Amino acid sequence: MPRPASPPPPPVFTHIGIAFFTADGFPMQASIVLSTDMWFRDTVLCGTVIESANGWVESWKECDRSPVEPYLTLLGIIGVAKVEKTPTQVLRAISSLRWTALDCRASGGSYKHPYSNDYVRRVVLHLCNKKIISLPQNVKNDLDWCITEILVKLRLRQASNFNVIPFVERRDVGYGGWC
């Protein structure tokens, strides 16, 4: 007698965000964060650029319960999208970008760190180009401005210790909306 087919596994969703953090005496830096938890409370994959002996390079690592090291101050996270892929699948798509500091187009935006700004902007646009996420054309055209505007709102809401602010209002993102 044939065995009944087992039900398919439940879908895995990854929340993609932009975390902003700082340390005393250093400019604010942005990081791409990936988590299966919409509030980024569980294990989070964090990607940013760091200065090494080889210059500025892309760096990814797993962070427990927070997307930053204990010596950094987390200002908040902008929730960009929720996708039906594992964090590893999203990371694989991001890795195909092959970011280099030589390609960096530093912007004079108000969120200061030119390499992390460029990296975050390029990753978000790359995920759009790969059809992993979808953002309205006006947001893609003015991505630096939109991130800066959200960052201003984030600073105004800093009464709580941990903020997640959505990037664009979307029905598939469960934490409110504005933009």
What does the pLDDT look like over 37-89, one tens digit per residue? Answer: 888 877 788 888 887 888 888 888 887 655 556 667 777 788 899 999 999 99
pLDDT mean across residues, the chain: 77
User: Residues 52, 100: contact at Cβ < 8 Å?
Assistant: no
Residue 126 has pLDDT above 90, yes or no: yes
> Which residue has better confidence, 22 or 125?
125
Least confident range of 17-31, 89-103, 149-163: 149-163
CA atoms within 13 A on the CB side of 166: 16
- Model-level pTM? 0.79
pLDDT at 2: 75
At 64 the pLDDT is 63
Which residue has better confidence, 171 or 123? 123
Tell me: pLDDT of 25 over 80: no
CB 121 within 8 A of CB 150: no
Fill in the amino acid letter for 78.
I
Distance, in Å, from the CA atom of 1 to the CA atom of 3, rounded to the nearest integer, reads 7
pLDDT higher for 153 or 120? 120
Judge whether residue 177 has pLDDT over 50.
no
75-125 tens-digit pLDDT: 778 889 999 999 999 999 999 988 877 777 655 554 456 778 888 888 999
Q: Which of 2, 31, 34 is nearest to 16 (CA)?
A: 34
Check whether 164 has a pLDDT greater than 90: no
pLDDT beyond 80 at 1 = no
Sequence spans of domains, the chain: 14-166
Angle at 22 between CA 18 and CA 24, to 5 degrees: 175
